[in-house]
Structure 1
Amino acid sequence: MTETKPNPTARRGRIFPEIQWTPEQHAQWEAERQEFRKRSQVIFNRVKPELMQTHYNWYITIEPDSGEYFVNQDEMEGAFLAHEKYPGAKLYTFRINETGVCGTV
């Protein structure tokens, strides 16, 4: 009789190791994220009333450092246009409606 070799099992779980952040690093990341959103929100609030009349429920992608924004009916197309003009820049996308978000929680 021949001996059967056990098949090696595939490793399950994450391919990449998890990022281990200290509480201070996580707090700093969260603060930077909130500050970036606030800068984008200022631009969104400024143009929202005008855009709600003509582009309701479309998407606006904002590059807050330049103040430029891109309006498109398709969320991904607007982000693509923004990334073409500002490669590597951080962008923020809102939906043009009363809340600036899609759906409800």
Structure 2
Amino acid sequence: MTEKTHIRVPRGSRIFPDRPRLSDAELAKRKAEDEAFAQRCREIFRRVYPELVKNHYNWAVMIEPKSGDYFVAPDPEVAFQKARQKHPNAKIMEMRLNETGACGRI
């Protein structure tokens, strides 16, 4: 049997100290890119919401903003598989066809 080694990590220290920290500029850039992605997805959602919510209430919607494609299914896994078939490497956002567009509870 192999023996377990216990490495004590002081509180507040980094778990992976060999990974370089991102600069503040890089963090700000990533945050801006994420916000722009979310904004494009929300615009598509607002456009298609009125026509879809009538017949597909509380279904999952996967949105790919570069092409404007969206995929609807009652099960989020099925919708995600549809999205991955057409856009295998794209970043996809999941929303729900309900009052808030949220996928779960907080």
Q: Which residue of 1 aligns with 2:35?
A: 34
* Aligned equivalents of 1:100, 1:78: Cα separation in 2: 15
User: CA, structure 1 residues 84+8, in 2 after alignment: closer, same or farther (shift >3 Å)?
Assistant: same
Q: Which residue of 2 aligns with 1:3?
A: none
Structure of larger gyration radius: 1
Matched positions, count? 99
* Aligned alpha-carbon RMSD (Å): 2.3
SS, match of residue 87 in structure 1: coil
Q: Which residue of 1 aligns with 2:84?
A: 83
Shift of 1:24: 1.1
Shift of 1:18: 4.9
Moved over 3 A (4+): 10-19
Identity of aligned residues (%): 39
TM-score, scaled to structure 2: 0.80
Unmatched tracts of structure 2, length 5 or more: 10-14
Unmatched tracts of structure 1, length 5 or more: 1-6
C-alpha distance after superposition, 1:63-99 (max 9, x if no partner): 1111111001111211111011111011111111111
TM-score, scaled to structure 1: 0.81
